Amino acid sequence: MKVLVTGGAGYIGSVVAWELIRQGDEVVVLDNLYMGHREAVPAGAAFVEGDLADRALVERVMAEHRPDAVMHFASHTLVGESMAEPSLYLRDNVVNGLNLIESAVGHGVRRFILSSTANLFDDPAEMPIKSSERIVPGSPYGESKHILERILYWMDRIHGLRYAALRYFNACGAAHEDLGEEHHPETHLIPLVLQVALGQREKIVIFGDDYPTPDGTCIRDYIHVLDLAQAHILALRALDAGSRTYNLGNGKGYSVKEVIETARAVTGHPIPAEVGPRRPGDPAELVADSLAIREELGWEPRYDLRAILESAWAWHKKHPQGYGDQ
């Protein structure tokens, strides 16, 4: 298939694009390089630099490349930032996403995959969280993804656009030592912990140890980016049989302290840690129930926390400054 990958220069998009090419699909990356890195776009992908807000450009890309499917990663993705700048998320993520969806429908594209998020579940009745759980967005970021899921629902009913909404829990790890995670500014736990191990930061601050969890720190479900990539490809191949929505995680939660402990074991560095105040908006526990995608598509995540940290460490050690030093 020919797949248009928006945000294919970003962390998850570039890994999925790389995996698609490895499996013999054709890839066109559309990315404004606002957060993405040109060096992360896999060899063999066509690259268009541009913004989804530019509707004329999106139309041109659709007309010129005539994709069979769209995978939409391009997005603002920070929960905390969205609490400070809600309009950025509610405007850009929603309007740009709608531009893309509308253009895809107009050009006869029948398959669409949306990067969605665990931030839809701010008040889960059950842990682990099933995809049928009641949606309570935890932030304008989560709300923007919820709106896009609803837009896709209607586009399916009215225009027959088959979609998969994939709700990632905590994406992490590197595809290989030259394809990994780099954000500016970095806010995610695993890269920050590894920056301490590299000597780039003095310590890691644990955001609160008074949560109602066994060691008092927040519990998250860390899922390797290559396992996410497999889920995208399985979902893509299954789309003609109908639209679907899945939660994607390992189904096992680790506390912030457990992540730091595992990073110490993997890196051999003491990684000094200190407890600071809670970060607003952080739920105590988020763990995915991914039974639906396991049963329906045979998805099986292969990487545990240690393997995730080993792969991320290999990337960070080789590229201490990220893509900038290639």
Report if residue 77 touches ligand UFG, rule: CB under 6 A.
yes
* Number of Cβ atoms within 10 Å of the Cβ of 130: 17
The Cα angle at residue 119 between residues 233 and 143, in degrees rounded to 5: 100
Report if residue 282 touches ligand UFG, rule: CB under 6 A.
yes
Among 117, 131, 245, 267, binds ligand UFG (CB under 6 A): 117
Distance from C-alpha of 6 to C-alpha of 52, rounded to nearest angstrom = 8
Residue from 175, 281, 285 nearest 232 by CA: 175
Report if residue 197 touches ligand UFG, rule: CB under 6 A.
no
Q: Shortest approach of ligand UFG to residue 54 CB, angstroms?
A: 25
Using CB under 6 A, which residues numbered 5 to 44 contact ligand UFG?
none
The 155-174 site mask, x for binding ligand UFG (CB under 6 A), equals --------------xx----
Residue type, 40: A
Strand 254-255 versus strand 219-220 pairing type: antiparallel
**DSSP secondary structure string for all residues of 119-143:** GGBSS-SSSSBPTTSPPB-SSHHHH
Give the residue with the Cβ less far from ligand UFG, 27 or 256.
256
Q: Shortest approach of ligand UFG to residue 78 CB, angstroms?
A: 6
The CB-nearest residue to ligand UFG is 218
Give the residue with the Cβ less far from ligand UFG, 104 or 287.
287
Residue from 226, 288, 278 nearest 252 by CA: 288
Report if residue 223 touches ligand UFG, rule: CB under 6 A.
no
Which of these is catalytic: 11, 89, 141, 163? Answer: 141
Beta bridge partners of 159: none
Q: Give yes or no for a contact between 260 and 193, defined as CB atoms under 8 angstroms apart.
A: yes
Residue from 140, 139, 193, 135 nearest 167 by CA: 135
Tell me which residue has tokens 């299954």: 238
Using CB under 6 A, which residues numbered 81 to 110 contact ligand UFG?
none
Segment holding 16, helix H or strand E? helix 11-22
Tell me which residue has tokens 């000094």: 272
Q: What does the CA dihedral 326, 79, 13, 117 come to, rounded to 10 degrees?
A: 150
Task: Using the rule CB under 6 A, give the single segment among 40-48, 84-92, 198-206, 300-308 that binds ligand UFG.
Answer: 198-206
Distance from C-alpha of 242 to C-alpha of 51, rounded to nearest angstrom = 29
Task: Using the rule CB under 6 A, give the single segment among 83-91, 103-111, 116-124, 155-163 that binds ligand UFG.
Answer: 116-124
Task: Using the rule CB under 6 A, give the single segment among 54-62, 151-159, 183-191, 239-247 that binds ligand UFG.
Answer: 183-191
What is the size of the binding site for ligand UFG (CB under 6 A)? Answer: 21
Q: Shortest approach of ligand UFG to residue 222 CB, angstroms?
A: 8
Report if residue 183 touches ligand UFG, rule: CB under 6 A.
no
Report if residue 311 touches ligand UFG, rule: CB under 6 A.
no
Residue 211 falls in the annotated catalytic set: no
Residue ranges binding ligand UFG (CB under 6 A): 77, 79, 117-119, 169-170, 187-189, 192, 204-207, 218, 220, 256, 279, 282, 286
